[in-house]
Structure 1
Amino acid sequence: MSDLRQRRVRTNGIWMNIAEKGRGPLVLLLHGFPQLWFSWNYQITQLAKHGYRVVAPDMRGYGDTDAPPDPASYTVIHLVGDIIGLLDELGEERAFVVGHDWGAEVAWYLSLFRPDRVRAVVSLGVPFRPYVAVKPMEMITKMYGAGFFLSQFQEPGRAEKAFSRYDCLTVMKKFLLIDAPDHETAPPGVEFIDFLDTPISLPPWITEEELIFSASKFRKSGFTGPLNYFRAMDLNWEFLKPWQGAKITVPAKLIIGDKDVWFHTFGTKEYMEKGAYKNFVPNLEVVFIDGHRHIQQEKAEEVTHEILSFFNDPSLM
């Protein structure tokens, strides 16, 4: 991508790598697990072409951004703090924000904590969930068992040790191409990464070269930072109690792939179909498209059209 620039900026006590392109109103693109800024390749080019200043960071713990070792440094308070610091460093008061997977969680909480810094928010694949009375890992393990991937990720070092039996390219392929709910829980005595198949061929939306690029970054940084997002889930629960019952008031759009494996987990499909989300994000537009988890890559053109049609609304400027 010609005229794309990468640099590291200081924010919230860490150095964060960002890719940026274009001029105009700022759009932040926040990636999820286990990806990098590069997963927004198509959106960066197209949004910049349509008159936006686009910035896609490697999130805390990923790629060329610093990766503190302590899981307690990965709460949503820290992650939102990173983005606020980034906005300040960029000299921008407000931004349009797009998040996918864990990046979508950060986008939602940024919108909840600091609506004054968000013009509008787009979430890919992750609806905003209200605070519940039970610790998330207690509830998840009870529902899905000790072999569930989130349960196995909780013990520091366990998943890293299991991942190390494979090269990083294989690990990337295993995770990026999960496409069925029955792929989420390993049998007793089996590590989750061992349970996942390694695909023989790649889908048309991603190339071997792209995966090799990502694998080279994970080979350098490791997986502890990304796994720490999951290990901070119960800490998030403790910190978020003061926002119990709070609503997200910024204009919002949720884009979900109807074949997304997580859409069919955690009761998400039922939550969306019953319309319960309207109680917590009243100004939300919901769009379903034919796709899986990584829809910003699988259906890049369609997703980008949905983002642009939303952000181009004159009332949001």
Structure 2
Amino acid sequence: MRDHDTWQVNGIDLAVTIAGSGPLVVLAHGFPDLAITWRHQVPALVEAGYRVVAPDMRGYGRSSRPSSPDGYDSDTVGADLIALLDHEQVERAHFVGHDWGAASVWPLGLTHPERVLSLTGLSVPYTVPAPVAPTQIFRNRFGDDFYMLKFQEKATPEAMLERDVTRTLVAVLSGRVDQLDSDDVIGAPAWLPDDVLDTYVREFERTGFGGGLNYYRNIDANWRLATRRDRHRIEAPSLFVTGTEDPISAFMPADRSARGFRRLRSHTVSGAGHWLHQEEPKRVTDLILDYLRSVDRRNDL
């Protein structure tokens, strides 16, 4: 059985889906998404004996949506996730994130290592901070039209994405972010049921995309926070899962991630794209569950 509630944590309201009992697993979604993205993983985790908390991350759905980009840096979002543990009155949890959710959970291994049982990131790898800011790297490699750079602008990206919310969501969920400002017809991916797409459309027509875009507007701020940390290697047991068809790998390659971890296990899901936990739910869920169980077995020794 799943419950839906709103918790006041870290000075904001987070709408949460809660289910099960046992060791805590926190599921963090990315852009543009909602807690419903984990609909395949939640029942499997509960059946395996875990308690699951899946928030609509700040800026999304029924959660608070601070208007200033300053409210979306990695330390602030990370504090939201840690506050979920405080609300549950548990010391440590497993954290699983996809896309910006992955980018939000990786730093917890550096900022709150004592609260982490394990870290799992889908699609977006953790990397030791580069010598220069990410926007400079993207501009040099891809030019000013790269979508992450266009998202840095104020108001213009919101207007573009909100002109046709359904088309925007279909384009992004189909891996066609390059088509956001075109009028080409794009069909919804086969793995996305109509009722789930309807939920996405209804929520983003209500909220807009500003909260999600503010995560992108902190790319350089997050890099500065990372460069100031005393350590850059994550000690917690960690899992990274990506798909062979994920376009993120073109500009965020995972092959240099290993030096950022003491214990990293990596898997590539053949045929899966960016939304691998929805595209190949059983394969991805099994990988997550096998890893969580292996960590828990080691902790029990």
- Shared fold, TM over 0.5: yes
> For residue 289 of structure 2, what is the aligned residue in structure 1?
308
The CA deviation at 1:244 is: 6.2
Alpha carbons of structure 1 residues 52 and 101: separation in structure 2 relative to 1, 3 Å: same
Query: Is the Cα contact below 8 Å between 2:170 and 2:189 reproduced in 1?
Result: no
The CA deviation at 1:38 is: 0.1
> For residue 248 of structure 2, what is the aligned residue in structure 1?
262
157, 161, 169: which one aligns with 2:166: 169
CA deviations over 1:154-173 (Å, ceiling 9, x no partner): 0110101112321x222110
The CA deviation at 1:37 is: 0.1
Q: Give the share of equivalent positions with the same residue, in percent.
A: 32
Alignment gaps of 5+ in structure 2: none
Query: Is the Cα contact below 8 Å between 2:162 and 2:208 reproduced in 1?
Result: no
The CA deviation at 1:243 is: 2.1
> For residue 284 of structure 1, what is the aligned residue in structure 2?
264
Would you say 1:138 and 2:104 are equivalent positions?
no
The one-letter code of the counterpart of 2:298 is: S
Would you say 1:124 and 2:122 are equivalent positions?
yes
What secondary structure sits across from 1:240 in the alignment?
helix
| Aligned residues between the structures | 297
The CA deviation at 1:197 is: 4.2
> For residue 243 of structure 1, what is the aligned residue in structure 2?
229
What secondary structure sits across from 1:195 in the alignment?
coil
The CA deviation at 1:277 is: 2.1
> For residue 6 of structure 2, what is the aligned residue in structure 1?
8
192, 195, 204: which one aligns with 1:218: 204
Alpha carbons of structure 1 residues 216 and 257: separation in structure 2 relative to 1, 3 Å: same
Q: Distance in 1 between the 2:201 and 2:154 partners?
A: 21
CA RMSD of aligned residues (A): 1.5
Alpha carbons of structure 1 residues 111 and 245: separation in structure 2 relative to 1, 3 Å: closer
Q: Distance in 2 between the 1:277 and 1:144 partners?
A: 22
Would you say 1:72 and 2:53 are equivalent positions?
no
The one-letter code of the counterpart of 1:72 is: D
The CA deviation at 1:283 is: 0.3
Q: How does 1:52-67 map to 2 (within 5 A)?
A: 52-67=50-65
Q: Distance in 2 between the 1:194 and 1:75 partners?
A: 27
87, 90, 94: which one aligns with 1:89: 87
What secondary structure sits across from 1:54 in the alignment?
strand
> For residue 25 of structure 1, what is the aligned residue in structure 2?
23
Alignment gaps of 5+ in structure 1: 185-191
37, 40, 43: which one aligns with 1:39: 37
Query: Is the Cα contact below 8 Å between 1:131 and 1:244 reproduced in 2?
Result: no
The one-letter code of the counterpart of 1:306 is: L
Q: Distance in 2 between the 1:143 and 1:244 partners?
A: 29
CA deviations over 1:77-108 (Å, ceiling 9, x no partner): 11001111111011111111111000001110
Alpha carbons of structure 1 residues 139 and 45: separation in structure 2 relative to 1, 3 Å: same
Q: Distance in 1 between the 2:261 and 2:250 partners?
A: 21
